[in-house]
Amino acid sequence: MVKREELLRTIDKNSRISVQELAIMLGEAEIDVANELKALEDEGVICGYHTMIDWSKTSIDKVMALIEVKVTPQRGIGFDSIAERIYKYPEVTSVYLMSGGFDLMVILEGKSLKEVASFVTNKLSPLETVLSCSTHFILQKYKDHGTILTKKYDDTREIITP
Amino acid sequence: MKNPLADKIVDIKPSGIRKFFDVVKTIDGAISLGVGEPDFDTPWHIRDEGIYSLEKGRTFYTSNSGLQELKNEICTYTKRKQGVEYDPNSQVLVTVGGSEAIDLALRAMINPGDEVLIPQPSYVSYEPCAILAGAKPVIIELKEENEFRLTAEEILEHVTDKTKILVLPFPNNPTGAIMERKDLESIAKVIREKDLFVLSDEIYSELTYTDKHVSITEIEGMKERTILINGFSKTFAMTGWRLGYAVGPKEIITQMTKIHQYAIMCAPTTSQYAAVEALKNGDDDVAMMRDEYNHRRRYLVNELRDMGLPCFEPFGAFYIFPSIKKFGMSSDEFATKLLEEEKLAVVPGNAFGDCGEGFIRISYAYSLDDLKKAMGRLRKFIEKL
């Protein structure tokens, strides 16, 4: 029986690992691992296999912003419908419903500051239920998804120890 | 001029690991699977407590036997993990690594001429420490066909009326062997009958990959005759903090504390504060590291067997000990040639005792990526042989 949590934790950090390798590392049969992965995908537990890219090291310009959005929840449907209106924009990478001082956290990716600004003024703010937006630009990503981006740590151990 | 040196020290042969280390240093671009310490950093919350203790100015000696809070936590931990109870005020000694505890235990218990049973292959310091304490080390050569476990028969073959202590180094460095409850029960019978004391070095107790580690102290009648040694180096990836401990019968701990008091004063205070945090809140880190080691272990066993290097499946520590006998080379020759031709460093098995001849120690305290690279080199090397 494949342990789900162990399987998920293993591919959480490395989604490129092959089913064959996973089977060896987890001490399970290949077919069982493949079936479990399929089941996890079908159930929507595994939602995708993405690549972490540090765009700042490429020549492609990307600007990321976190936008705190306050909205008026609507009778009967709460925040879901307004969230949907926002997350349908392809430039929006994440939308979270938050506790605390504001309601929705919208994470946005654009080519330039101007593009992000234009999204906020022309698309987000005019939405009827949106009361206010507060936009924060990301200046530098130090660590993302548990991975440190800014520094590589060398192995400083002695080469041979008892 | 008089000879400035003590014969007893000069006669002790230098560690085989040291010799090999000097060779590895000269090879540019070598990758190594020769390290006997975790590749993980000490979990941040533990480091943070160390830093915090410095900020608060906790920079003084602790009591000789260790910080009270740490001794309490050690007893709680031992109770929680092994179900064995010790009194924090009289049965615990915090030491500078498990290594110091090994030295102290032997010095506190040995009279000249006493014999100490040392199973090998095993960690390099038991034999010299026993000699320095004035004992006669008696080596038990563990066998591959027993998966390098210690058997009651092997003890009986080597025990004499001078035998006082049995060193029990499991989970084992370098073989990765463990002793399960049934194995311990069968040797415990002999230990009781022959009235031996046990120095049980359980520094890898958290790194077992089938069932939970069983301590010899859990076996009936053993706690009273066992000095149990453990530490923070392997479990919490804290090798550089130099912190270990011994728990055991009050009369032995008292004498060990006496030596420690005169030779060391106390273990490093910063490390002791960090260690309290490790024992209190470190379980999740240990589980994460154990899973990771386990994945690598399975990967390596599979790779080694696939390339035709026979090895038994090790269930503890972070080492694999494959046999290289079929290539008709000594361990030293194999390791040196591998280093020269493929720039891959492993430790020759005979560094851990003569009976380690014909084996090499491969450590998996490396990331999977590093291991893959190394296995590629090893495979290439073997295919050419």
Residue A73 has pLDDT above 90, yes or no: no
Q: Tell me how far apart the 2 most distant CA atoms of chain A are, in Å.
A: 68
For residue A78, name the pLDDT band (cuts at 50, 70, 90).
Answer: confident
pLDDT score at B353: 96
**3-state class of A27 per DSSP?**
coil
Range in A149-158, B123-132, B321-330 with the lowest mean pLDDT: A149-158
Window 15-54 of A: residues touching B by CB (8 A cutoff) are 21, 24-27
pLDDT score at A75: 80
- Looking at domain B7-42+284-384, its CATH architecture is Alpha-Beta Complex (3.90)
| CATH code linked to domain B60-281 | 3.40.640.10
Mean pLDDT of chain A: 94
Q: Over range A157-161, report the average pLDDT.
A: 91
Q: B7-42+284-384 and B60-281 share one CATH topology?
A: no
Domain boundaries, chain B: 7-42+284-384, 60-281
pLDDT score at A58: 95
Window 3-22 of A: residues touching B by CB (8 A cutoff) are 6, 9-10, 14, 21
Q: Chain A within 8 Å of B32 (Cβ-Cβ)?
A: yes
Mean pLDDT of chain B: 97
B17/A161 CB distance under 8 A: yes
What is the interface pTM, i.e. ipTM, of the complex? 0.87
* A152 vs A37: which has the higher pLDDT: A37
Cβ-based contacts of A158 with chain B (< 8 Å)? 21, 35
Residue B239 has pLDDT above 90, yes or no: yes
Cβ-based contacts of A26 with chain B (< 8 Å)? 295, 298
Q: Chain A within 8 Å of B284 (Cβ-Cβ)?
A: no
B37/A159 CB distance under 8 A: no
B34/A161 CB distance under 8 A: yes
pLDDT score at A76: 79
pLDDT score at B73: 98
- B212-246 per-residue burial string, b: 16 or more CB within 10 A, e: under 16: ebbbbbbbeebbebbbbbbbbbbbbbbbebbbbbb
Residue B260 has pLDDT above 90, yes or no: yes
Looking from the CA of B96 toward its CB, the CA atoms found within 13 Å total: 13
Q: How far apart are CA B320 and CA B222, in angstroms?
A: 29
pLDDT score at B370: 95
Copy the structure tokens of residue B193. 């009958």
pLDDT score at B17: 86
pTM for the whole thing? 0.94
